[in-house]
């Protein structure tokens, strides 16, 4: 099976712009989660989507949003970019049957640099 | 408030010896724990996991131990190999009615020298 794929791999934007990142989960996986990795804060949970619905959300401002499509592919959007949004954005997928402890599998990430 | 802590930012080990990476957590509701390995500019790769109903899980050279009373888990790598050099993240899962999210520690950089 192909793994989690993310596009683009690298992105440079300027402050105030907005950006959309894409994630395709492992075939058959219905849950997609997004994480932000920065040197200072480590890996932090952004949000999780399941069956096209946001099911869980971390402590990030409303500038960070996402959506999931019927084929489980997901996008996340960051509006009004700030310098502090420079980070590696990681997508993870899992089968995620409710109540079952499951492993999340990560994609390679999108490296975003905000200038 | 950091719920998952990896107090050692780095660890150096010689090839062939045991590597022990430690992780502490504060939330007794966590019921599933995972270890990931990460190289720079790549996504984390899943290594091994353990449910809170167990105290040990093995997979080849990797063994994870869980001590629920101490809220502590450790990853043992035996024997260590130079290719094991990477950042290791401990993560915990806290299922709620809406779904699950992984809470990560800040990582330990393992260096295995030949």
Is residue B57 very low, low, confident or very high in pLDDT (cuts 50, 70, 90)?
very high
Q: What is the DSSP letter of A13?
A: E
Interchain contact, A106 vs B95, CB within 8 Å: no
Whether B25 has its CB under 8 Å from any CB of chain A: the answer is no
Q: What percent of chain A has pLDDT over 90?
A: 79
Q: How far is it, in rounded angstroms, from Cα B73 to Cα B25?
A: 8
Q: Which residues of A touch B89 (CB under 8 A)?
A: 42-43
The predicted-structure confidence for B11-49, as pLDDT tens digits, reads as follows 999 999 999 999 999 999 898 999 999 998 789 999 999
> Are the Cβ atoms of A45 and B89 closer than 8 angstroms?
no
How much is the pLDDT for B60?
97
Q: Closest Cα of chain B to A49: distance in Å?
A: 9
Angstrom distance (rounded) from CA B44 to CA A13:
25
The Cα B95–Cα B101 span in angstroms is 7
Q: What is the pLDDT of residues A64-115, one digit of tens each?
A: 999 999 999 999 999 999 999 999 999 999 987 665 677 899 999 999 999 9
pLDDT value of residue B8: 95
Contact B51 A101 (CB under 8 A): yes
In the prediction, which pLDDT does B2 show?
83
Q: Which of A43, A48, A105 sits opposite B104 (nearest CB)?
A: A43
CB B98 within 8 A of CB A36: no
Taking alpha carbons only, the member of B89, B43, B84 closest to residue B60 is: B84
pLDDT reported for residue B42: 86
Q: B45, B38 in Cβ contact below 8 A?
A: yes
Q: Beta-strand (E) ranges in chain A? A: 5-7, 10-13, 19-24, 31-38, 42-50, 53-57, 64-68, 74-78, 87-94, 105-106, 110-114
User: Comparing B58 with A102, which gets the higher pLDDT?
Assistant: B58
Min Cα separation A105/chain B (Å): 7
Interface membership of A14 toward B (CB under 8 Å): no
Inter-chain residue contact A101 with B42, CB threshold 8 Å: no
């Amino acid at each position: 099976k192909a793994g989690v794929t993310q596009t683009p791999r690298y992105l440079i934007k300027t402050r105030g712009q907005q950006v959309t990142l894409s994630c395709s989960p492992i075939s058959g996986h219905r849950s997609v989660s997004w994480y932000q990795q920065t040197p200072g804060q480590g890996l932090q949970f952004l949000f999780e989507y399941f069956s096209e619905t946001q099911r869980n959300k971390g402590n990030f401002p409303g500038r960070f949003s996402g959506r999931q499509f019927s084929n489980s592919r997901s996008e996340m959007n960051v509006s009004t970019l700030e310098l502090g949004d420079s980070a590696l954005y990681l997508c993870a997928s899992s089968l995620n049957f409710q109540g079952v402890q499951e492993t999340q599998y990560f994609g390679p990430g999108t490296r975003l640099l905000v200038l | 408030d950091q719920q998952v802590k990896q107090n050692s930012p780095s660890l150096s080990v010689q090839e062939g010896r045991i590597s022990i990476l430690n992780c502490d957590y504060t939330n007794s509701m966590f019921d599933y724990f995972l270890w990931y390995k990460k190289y720079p500019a790549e996504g984390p790769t899943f290594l091994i996991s353990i449910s809170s109903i167990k105290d040990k899980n093995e997979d080849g050279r990797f063994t994870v131990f869980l001590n629920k009373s101490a809220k502590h888990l450790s990853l043992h790598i035996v024997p260590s190999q130079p290719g094991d050099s990477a950042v290791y993240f401990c993560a915990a899962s806290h299922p709620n009615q809406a779904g699950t999210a992984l809470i990560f520690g800040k990582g330990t950089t393992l260096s295995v020298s030949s």
